[in-house]
């Protein structure tokens, strides 16, 4: 693919992911309020319900991501991405009209079955990127995530003042408009000569992970990936609850804080990764990034004033150089016609961690903020996250030591 065409394709996928993440970010500040409204219970119980909803979404993703990843290797990335975006639109409509907690769970199940947008996006980027630029270009997913979280949570916090359900309908509109955008604008990235026939045996989530045995370096990095992803749920699953409990933040303030997290993620993933990874190399980018990420989590747990969360985010966000470098190392071990299978397997890993991660973190938060807790420690999820990231750092250093990556 020519450099000009590659740049255009990357721009298309970036915009598609950006709109997708804005829709996701809009609902985060208001989800606790909607759960409390439907359940009639308090914040600690809402955190538990939120954890089980992520569990429902992740369990479906665990089983269906390898299937969609394999289908993308046969039919191309574009139709799978459009299918995923349409599924998100339906999910948000269901959530917006949900009369009971059960309907919230049903909507999350629909999203989990169809949710392959990041699987397809990762495979798409691998298709159009030469091996030496994949790590840098994978940073575009993080940049889209960051920019989406600048606009999404801030907009969600504002819309939430008009009612807890309003943001869900706006998200539905964005997802469906994004689907239309992709249908008319997004080109196919996987050339016919690089496609392979879909095989059910390789799309079983367990088999898709076992197939990674053919690539020892990739397989050796799966476990630390699991630890990093579980650690990430300290922020993804409990940030809203933590800040509301410890600093008495409103939905609007939560939205602004997540917007700042998005700004920093966009700066690091969209700019610094492209400058630092080629200069530092993949190994040092992973090493330095994970150490900064772990330190950031410790500081989050120790914060005793709201403004500190903003200052600490600057440090924690610099850890964002680690994951694009790690994804680049893994992608470079796999041939072009198996990139979709690899992304599907990694999404299954992510989904597997999403089954246990939110339950661990939300229940840690719920327990250590309950009246029966031996000590009040709302930062417990961040302490756990810091420990898991440090352990993953030790594992990766040993796995990659001495290798030319």
Query: For 10-51, what is each residue's pLDDT tens digit?
Result: 777 787 777 777 777 777 777 888 888 888 888 778 878 887
C-alpha span between 173 and 181 (Å, rounded) = 12
pLDDT band at 6 (very low <50, low <70, confident <90, very high): low
Residue 405 maps to a domain: no
Both structure tokens of 252? 């609007």
Assess contact for 351 and 58: CB atoms under 8 A.
yes
Q: Given this model, what pLDDT does residue 306 score?
A: 92
User: Residue for token digits 């198996």?
Assistant: 338
pLDDT band at 93 (very low <50, low <70, confident <90, very high): very high
* pLDDT for residue 294 is more than 90: yes
Assess contact for 249 and 306: CB atoms under 8 A.
yes
Residue among 164, 203, 213, 125 nearest 28 (CA): 164
Q: Which domain holds residue 261?
A: 3-191+198-400
Q: Given this model, what pLDDT does residue 10 score?
A: 79
Q: Given this model, what pLDDT does residue 188 score?
A: 80
Assess contact for 138 and 327: CB atoms under 8 A.
yes
Compute how many other C-beta atoms are within 10 angstroms of the C-beta atom of residue 145: 24
Query: For 306-347, what is each residue's pLDDT tens digit?
Result: 999 999 999 999 998 898 888 888 887 777 676 666 766 776
Q: Given this model, what pLDDT does residue 289 score?
A: 93
Q: Given this model, what pLDDT does residue 389 score?
A: 95
* pLDDT for residue 276 is more than 70: yes
Q: Given this model, what pLDDT does residue 290 score?
A: 95
Q: Given this model, what pLDDT does residue 207 score?
A: 72
Query: For 43-92, what is each residue's pLDDT tens digit?
Result: 778 878 887 887 787 778 777 877 887 788 888 888 888 888 888 888 88
C-alpha span between 25 and 48 (Å, rounded) = 20
User: Residue for token digits 């604008």?
Assistant: 185
Residue 128 maps to a domain: yes
pLDDT band at 393 (very low <50, low <70, confident <90, very high): very high
Q: What is the DSSP string of 300-349?
A: HHH--SHHHHHHHHHHHHHGGGHHHHHHHHHHTTS-GGGHHHHHHHHHHH
Both structure tokens of 71? 């289908």
Stretch 188-195: mean pLDDT, rounded? 78
C-alpha span between 196 and 209 (Å, rounded) = 18
C-alpha span between 177 and 398 (Å, rounded) = 46
Residue 321 maps to a domain: yes
Instruction: Return the CATH number at 333.
Output: 1.20.1250.20
Q: Given this model, what pLDDT does residue 25 score?
A: 73
Stretch 97-122: mean pLDDT, rounded? 82
Residue 395 maps to a domain: yes
pLDDT band at 3 (very low <50, low <70, confident <90, very high): low
Q: Given this model, what pLDDT does residue 382 score?
A: 96
Task: Identify which has the larger pLDDT, 76 or 368.
Answer: 368
Residue 176 maps to a domain: yes
- pTM assigned to the model: 0.66
Domain count, the chain: 1
Both structure tokens of 121? 């996006």
* pLDDT for residue 269 is more than 90: no
Report helix, strand or coil for 164: coil
First to last CA, the chain: 24
Report helix, strand or coil for 160: helix
* pLDDT for residue 372 is more than 60: yes
Stretch 264-286: mean pLDDT, rounded? 84
pLDDT band at 295 (very low <50, low <70, confident <90, very high): very high
Assess contact for 158 and 171: CB atoms under 8 A.
no
CA distances from residue 140 to 28, 324, 345 in whole angstroms, order as listed = 22, 9, 20
pLDDT band at 402 (very low <50, low <70, confident <90, very high): low
Task: Identify which has the larger pLDDT, 9 or 291.
Answer: 291
Burial of 36 per CB tally in 10 Å (0-12, 13-18, 19+): middle
Residue 156 maps to a domain: yes
Residue among 180, 33, 24 nearest 108 (CA): 24
């Amino acid at each position: 693919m020519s450099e000009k065409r590659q740049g255009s394709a990357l721009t298309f996928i970036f915009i598609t992911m950006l709109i997708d993440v804005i829709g996701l970010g809009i609902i985060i500040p208001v989800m606790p309020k909607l759960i409390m409204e439907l359940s009639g219970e308090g914040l600690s119980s809402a955190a538990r319900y939120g954890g089980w909803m992520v569990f429902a979404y992740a369990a479906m993703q665990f089983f269906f991501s390898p299937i969609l990843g394999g289908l993308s290797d046969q039919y191309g990335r574009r139709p799978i991405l459009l299918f995923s975006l349409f599924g998100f639109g339906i999910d948000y409509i269901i959530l917006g009209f949900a009369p009971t907690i059960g309907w919230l769970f049903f909507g999350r199940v629909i999203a989990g079955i169809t949710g392959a947008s990041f699987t397809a996006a990762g495979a798409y980027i691998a298709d159009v990127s030469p091996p030496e630029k994949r790590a840098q270009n994978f940073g575009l997913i993080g940049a889209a995530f960051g920019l989406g979280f600048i606009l999404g949570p801030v907009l969600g916090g504002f819309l939430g003042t008009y009612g807890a359900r309003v943001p869900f309908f706006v998200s539905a509109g964005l997802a469906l408009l994004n689907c239309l955008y992709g249908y008319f604008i997004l080109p196919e990235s996987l050339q016919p000569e690089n496609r392979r026939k879909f095989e059910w045996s390789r799309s079983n989530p367990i088999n898709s992970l076992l197939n990674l045995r053919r690539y020892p370096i990739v397989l050796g990095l799966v476990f630390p990936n699991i630890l990093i992803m579980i650690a990430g749920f300290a922020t993804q699953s409990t940030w809203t609850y933590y800040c509301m409990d410890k600093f008495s933040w409103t939905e609007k303030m939560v939205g602004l804080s997540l917007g700042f997290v998005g700004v920093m993620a966009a700066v690091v993933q969209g700019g610094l990764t492209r400058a630092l990874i080629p200069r530092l190399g993949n190994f040092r980018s992973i090493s330095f990034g994970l150490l900064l990420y772990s330190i950031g989590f410790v500081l989050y747990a120790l914060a005793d004033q709201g403004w500190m969360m903003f200052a600490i985010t600057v440090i924690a966000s610099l850890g964002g150089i680690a994951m694009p470098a790690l994804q680049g190392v893994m992608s470079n071990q796999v041939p072009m016609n198996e990139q979709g299978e690899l992304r599907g397997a990694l999404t299954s890993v992510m989904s597997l961690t999403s089954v246990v991660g939110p339950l661990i973190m939300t229940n840690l938060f719920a327990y250590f903020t309950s009246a029966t807790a031996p000590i009040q420690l709302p930062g417990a999820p961040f302490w756990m996250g810091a420990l898991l990231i440090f352990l993953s750092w030790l594992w990766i250093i040993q796995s990659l030591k001495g290798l030319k990556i």
